[in-house]
Structure 1
Amino acid sequence: MKKTIVNIATSLSLALASAAFSVSANAGEVLDRVLSNKTLTVAVGTDWGPISHLDEKHELVGYDIDVAKGIAKYLGTGTTFVTPGWDIITGGKWQGRWDVAMGQMIPTKARAEVFDFPALYIWGPNVAVVHKDSKATKLSDLDGKVIGVASGTGAEAYANQKFQPAWENAKPVEYPFKAGQIKTYTSTNIAFDDLRLGDGVRIDGVLTDETIARDAIKAGYPLKVLEPALFSSPAAIAILPGDKDFHDKVAAALKEMKADGTLSKLSMKWYGVDYTVEK
């Protein structure tokens, strides 16, 4: 009996030791992989305007692309870009396919349950956009209208009146209108393609980041932005929780890029405005 008890105790001790070793071995797993492979794998989009898009050489360029390269430089690695859909990125089931998600993700309470946000790297307003021939002149004119949004975005949460900020000193969210119908798209640009067909033809308005809206208008889309902005929010670098070492390295990289003026320069390069400070 004593021998049996000893064996059970020994087995239990070994199991606990094994579990403790496993936790220790997994600490820093993402950072170890990034440094071992000498590459930071980053999820981005191909049609997100100045955030990230394909240029005439079919190469990915944009503010987020340059920021990601800055993080990689700080880590001493190269970059590999992958382009899953935004709904896949925000689903959180990355399974090691990428290490970091760009796309200027708004840190809402719902997302904070899925992601870790090491650093904020840009601030900007979300706005309502209508066709240039629309009779809407203020936000309340969209009450009961068909509103388009990109799936999985802060704009979608806002349209459903479920937008809950998770950053410090966030201002209370106001809802000057209630959509009659919400139509979701895989990207804002596809929503704009429907809106450009005419006022009310398929949708009456689109909610999105102002920089994307201004970029579409600059490209010739017959749209106009309603004032004021729906809300102003920061955007965060997103990683999966569980690797504090990786979190700290990404945070340190962004802190250095802010301190030496790199972020401000990149914002001016891609937007002509410094969006790296809260407005």
Structure 2
Amino acid sequence: MKNTLMGLALAGLGLMAGINTAWAGATLDRVMARKTVVVVADGSYPPFSFMNDKNQMDGLDVELAKLVAQRLGVTLRFETPSWEVVTAGNWRGRWDVCICSMTPDQKRARVLDFVTAYYDSPTVVVTSVGNTELKKAADINGKRIGVEQGSSYERYLQRDLEMGIFSSRKVNYPFEKVRIAPYSSEDLAYQDLALGAGKRIDAVVSNMGAARFRMSKVPGKFQIVGEPLYNEENWIVVDKGDAEWKQKIQAVFAELKADGSIDRLTKKWIGVPATSPAAK
């Protein structure tokens, strides 16, 4: 009888453990069950994520995603939903992690979990070569500025960017008001800017790494104006509410930071090592 009762007790404990495992870390369970991690990336954001000449995803974020999949022991699938949809949260299992150079702010943190910072980057104003009206950041006042819809750059132009969530960084606004031209991708914004300043837009607000990459591909078309607007940390992001999955991704990126993988890739793609204190 004693053995029977003990067996029932152990069975009950095993059942409870199974229930806890099933409910704790649903994302990790899903990833390991299907042997695939679904990563969100921007399909037109070089040098971080873009389609290369071989029609394959390439860039800093893409290479990091491949390393994450290797560490998890699963295959990798990329998806490129609109930035507005990604930053709205409530992914409902459609994607597992966003390795997509996202800037943390107060509004996004309400619906997404920011996992870890992995590099720093300046935000700059880019205009057409030959444009003499824009010489410094303050000169964008009243101008028509192209920006990716739903991005932190759009929020900045709206004077509504609050980055002080993981650091004490402050954002300054050297302009009163601009005319925002939202685009579904930065590719489209740069295509319009290439027509010449004032044709459709006067400038683009973008990441310095992205700006320099585009400038290198079409020499003589674009120029960076004045000093950077602000410096931003770029973070890995998961949907809100799964603590075990967040901790797993944190652990993987801690390994990639410790073994030098992140510094190696940031040097390769943007010319400098990761500089964020949080990324070290």
TM band (smaller chain): 0.7 to 0.9
Q: Which amino acid aligns with 2:148?
A: A
Name the CA distance, whole Å, in 1 between partners of 2:163 and 2:247: 23
Q: Which amino acid aligns with 1:37?
A: R
TM-score by length of 1: 0.88
Name the CA distance, whole Å, in 2 between partners of 1:133 and 1:40: 46
Deviation at 1:44, TM superposition (A): 1.1
Deviation at 1:72, TM superposition (A): 1.8
Q: Which of 79, 102, 107 lines up with 1:105 in the alignment?
A: 102
Secondary structure of 1:201's counterpart equals coil
Deviation at 1:168, TM superposition (A): 3.1
| Conservation of the 8 A alpha-carbon contact between 2:125 and 2:225 | yes
| Conservation of the 8 A alpha-carbon contact between 1:87 and 1:186 | no
1:83-119 Cα deviation digits (max 9, x unpaired): 2122221222422111011220001111100100111
Deviation at 1:23, TM superposition (A): 7.9
For the aligned residue pairs, the C-alpha RMSD in angstroms reads 1.9
Name the CA distance, whole Å, in 1 between partners of 2:258 and 2:21: 33
Could you tell me which residue of structure 2 aligns to residue 247 of structure 1? Answer: 246
Could you tell me which residue of structure 2 aligns to residue 176 of structure 1? Answer: 174
**Structure 1 residue 44 corresponds to structure 2 residue 41:** yes
| Conservation of the 8 A alpha-carbon contact between 2:121 and 2:231 | yes
Could you tell me which residue of structure 1 aligns to residue 14 of structure 2? Answer: none
Could you tell me which residue of structure 1 aligns to residue 112 of structure 2? Answer: 115
Corresponding residue pairs, total: 259
Aligned in 2, Cα 1:73/1:256: closer, same or farther, shift over 3 Å?
A: same
Q: Which of 218, 228, 242 lines up with 2:216 in the alignment?
A: 218
Question: Higher mean Cα deviation, 185-194 or 173-182?
Answer: 173-182
**Structure 1 residue 163 corresponds to structure 2 residue 171:** no
Q: Which amino acid aligns with 1:251?
A: Q
Name the CA distance, whole Å, in 1 between partners of 2:135 and 2:212: 17
| Conservation of the 8 A alpha-carbon contact between 1:257 and 1:263 | yes
Name the CA distance, whole Å, in 1 between partners of 2:159 and 2:53: 39
| Conservation of the 8 A alpha-carbon contact between 1:112 and 1:166 | no
1:212-255 Cα deviation digits (max 9, x unpaired): 11111111161111121111011111101111111111001111
Secondary structure of 2:172's counterpart equals coil
Could you tell me which residue of structure 2 aligns to residue 201 of structure 1? Answer: 199
Deviation at 1:68, TM superposition (A): 1.2
Q: Which of 91, 94, 103 lines up with 2:91 in the alignment?
A: 94
Could you tell me which residue of structure 2 aligns to residue 265 of structure 1? Answer: 264
Name the CA distance, whole Å, in 2 between partners of 1:192 and 1:90: 22
Could you tell me which residue of structure 1 aligns to residue 53 of structure 2? Answer: 56
Name the CA distance, whole Å, in 1 between partners of 2:53 and 2:147: 27
Could you tell me which residue of structure 2 aligns to residue 35 of structure 1? Answer: 32
TM-score by length of 2: 0.87
Could you tell me which residue of structure 2 aligns to residue 11 of structure 1? Answer: none
Could you tell me which residue of structure 2 aligns to residue 234 of structure 1? Answer: 233
Name the CA distance, whole Å, in 1 between partners of 2:116 and 2:212: 25
Q: Which amino acid aligns with 2:240?
A: P
Name the CA distance, whole Å, in 1 between partners of 2:19 and 2:131: 60
Could you tell me which residue of structure 1 aligns to residue 8 of structure 2? Answer: none
Name the CA distance, whole Å, in 1 between partners of 2:73 and 2:178: 50
* Aligned residues with identical type, % of pairs: 34
Q: Which amino acid aligns with 2:223?
A: K
**Structure 1 residue 85 corresponds to structure 2 residue 98:** no
| Conservation of the 8 A alpha-carbon contact between 1:130 and 1:205 | yes
Please list every run of 5 or more consecutive structure 1 residues that lacks an aligned counterpart in the other structure.
1-20
Aligned in 2, Cα 1:174/1:233: closer, same or farther, shift over 3 Å?
A: same
